[in-house]
Structure 1
Amino acid sequence: MSEVRIAAEPRTEFGKGAARRARRAGKVPAVLYGHGTQPRHINLPGHDLMLALKTPNVLLRVDGIEGGDNLALPKSVQRDPIKGFLEHVDLLVVKKGEKVAVEIPVTTTGEVAPGGVLNQELVQVEVQAEATHIPEGVEVDVEGLEAGAHVTAGDLKLPTGTELVTDAETIILTVAAERVSEEAPAEAEAAEPAAETEAPAESAE
């Protein structure tokens, strides 16, 4: 599992105006909470945070604030709906050895059998894993699966120490029969365009 060290600074100003000023300075307002501690309001470097969040369930080692290093998982990420930049992040403090519930992506490998069409019904599943050993995702091998086949959450092969939280009967993907479009039968012979006949031009005398 990826672990990224990121520097934080205490946040002393609050409100929309303060948040805008922080973002103009390249920082992202955040809240660090959990384990019975009072929520700590901090600013994080925007570029470093954006790169870190490209990894699902990245483990952040937040330093530079009271209490020394803090291991945390991003629990809520707010982005601007139009421009996509980070607006605010909630971070949950975790401890080594502690189990946490997270969602991990489901990806597929291979190709289904000819005549089948793969339909992925669920792109994420919820699992419980040790905070410092959260899998980045789980793969499903669909090689050779024929029409009518399906895979449930219970069929997923999770890493050792990771437990499924999503209902085991939940459908992850199905393979449907490929639709063959029925075209209207072609006419035996296409009508040939009628030869254009030109009326004889009257001779001008």
Structure 2
Amino acid sequence: MILEIDNIELNYNQKRILSGVYFKNEIGKITGVLGRNGCGKSSLLKIIFGDLKPKYKLLRLDKKPLLKPFYRTGLVKYLPQHSLLPTTMKLKDAFFLMNVDWFLFVELFPNFINYENTKPKEVSGGELRVIETYLILKSPARFILLDEPFSHIAPIYMEKIISLIKQEKQRKGIIITDHLYEHIVSISDDLYLLKDGYTKQIKSKEELVDLGYITGFF
């Protein structure tokens, strides 16, 4: 299954944010989107998900236009930058409602083994990010949108999250953006840079230097 995003235009207060954006993602691949703060990466993911309406957009699934919000298809899950879970819901209930196995989670992240009856408001921001990223990735959706999944995550968890993303791409299409661009570059099958409202597909690290996104190699 192939998802194509085409001809997206978005204005805020008469300022053009996105203009003619195009890129694609498909099952079995990770598509990374890089860009400076304020360039429209989060807005782009919200448009794809369907909870932000731009001036123009065209989404296609296997070449067929998607005429209703993507989230209504049941094919997509979205991890925004803000917290997802109700602050007073026990974590075990959140896993139950999202049909995700709590015991498999604590097998991968044993430091959380005593958090079953804990509420989101009682854990740190980084811990909550791990939990919510896991829930989204392990959902039955075919496409996953991740907006800065590595934000505030401790190094002890980072490699496990990266491994999980690589594992889940075997059954899903994943679109990911993050300020930790080294990780995005390393895990992405296809890479785009969002700059001046447009997307450009990136084929090499040299292009990121030439386009002024980074000043040297890492």
Same fold per TM (> 0.5)? no
Q: Whose helix proportion is higher, 1 or 2?
A: 2
RCO higher in structure (CA 8 A, sep ≥6): 2
- The alignment's TM-score, normalised by the length of structure 2, stands at 0.24
**Bigger Rg over Cα:** 1
Q: Whose strand proportion is higher, 1 or 2?
A: 1
- The alignment's TM-score, normalised by the length of structure 1, stands at 0.25
